[in-house]
Amino acid sequence: MARQAVREQQGITLRGSAEIVAEFFSYGINSILYQRGIYPPETFTRVQKYGLTLLVTTDPELKNYLNNVVEQMKEWLCKCLVQRLVVVISSIESNEVLERWQFDIECDKTAKDETVPREKSQKAIQDEIRSVIRQITATVTFLPLLETACAFDLLIYTDKDMAVPEKWEESGPQFIANSEEVRLRSFTTTIHKE
């Protein structure tokens, strides 16, 4: 029993991987919203996660919205239906898209049929996620200040045939013309690669 418990702690299942990735998106989106000043700093509080001090919103409406999105993401990740999540930041006044944070997801669908967890330690995954979060924070050192009040949208790219859930709607990609791009690091649970 003890050996099995240790193995489960070290192993990654599809459900476990979906939870890890969905949780990352929750913290990652909060970090983007804080670092880019989309919401006032006084509406954030500090929490410890991935061995880091992270900032998460205390705004009840925003919390509720993000929780709903994350729960939906978890379900889709479990079924390997989601390919990309994009945080789109736009000017409230002009609706111009100013920034686009794109997270591509690769899901190994063979994991659906597996009964044995894959071996990758939580620590290794956490270390990789930590690097990504630190990079998000580091981007503020060179990204231009967003000097206009901004809002954000979340776009989730799914398989073509998937039904659109209630309260969601189809959207275009909201690309930016003549944009400058920087690439963040990625992490992998061995089932989902982000």
Cβ neighbours of residue 10 closer than 8 Å, sequence gap 6 or more: 117, 119, 120, 121, 122
Residue 31 CB burial class (10 angstroms; 0-12, 13-18, ≥19): buried
The pair phi, psi for residue 135, each rounded to 5°, is -70, -40
Residue window 51-90: x/- pattern of binding to other proteins, with contact defined by CB under 8 A? xxx-x-----------------------------------
Q: How far is the CB of 42 from other proteins (least distance, A)?
A: 7
Stretch that binds other proteins, among 63-71, 74-82, 107-115, 140-148 (CB under 8 A): 140-148
Report in angstroms how near the CB of residue 188 gets to other proteins at its nearest. 14
Cα 39 to Cα 6: distance, rounded to the nearest angstrom: 41
User: Which of 13/24 has CB closer to other proteins?
Assistant: 24
The binder of other proteins chosen from 143, 152, 155, 168 (CB under 8 A): 143
Of residues 54 and 80, the one with the C-beta less far from other proteins: 54
Tokens of 120: 């990758």
**14 vs 89 by CB, closer to other proteins:** 89
Nearest-approach distance from CB 114 to other proteins, in angstroms: 30
Partners of 131 in the β-ladder: none
Token pair 């990625």: residue: 186
Which of 60/144 has CB closer to other proteins?
144
How far apart CA 45 and CA 42 sit, in angstroms, is: 8
**Which residue(s) pair with 52 in the sheet?**
49
Find, among 180, 154, 3, 27, the residue nearest to 90 by Cα: 154
- In angstroms, the CA 130 to CA 134 distance is 6
- CA–CA distance, 141 with 24 (Å, rounded to integer): 22
Tell me if 99 contacts other proteins by CB under 8 A: yes
If the CB atoms of residues 36 and 74 are measured against other proteins, the closer one turns out to be 36
Q: Which of 79, 84, 134, 193 binds other proteins (CB under 8 A)?
A: 134
Toward other proteins, which CB reaches closer, 8 or 104?
104
Which residues would be at the binding site for other proteins (CB under 8 A)?
Answer: 41-42, 46, 48, 51-53, 55, 98-102, 127, 130-131, 134-135, 137-144, 175-176, 178-185
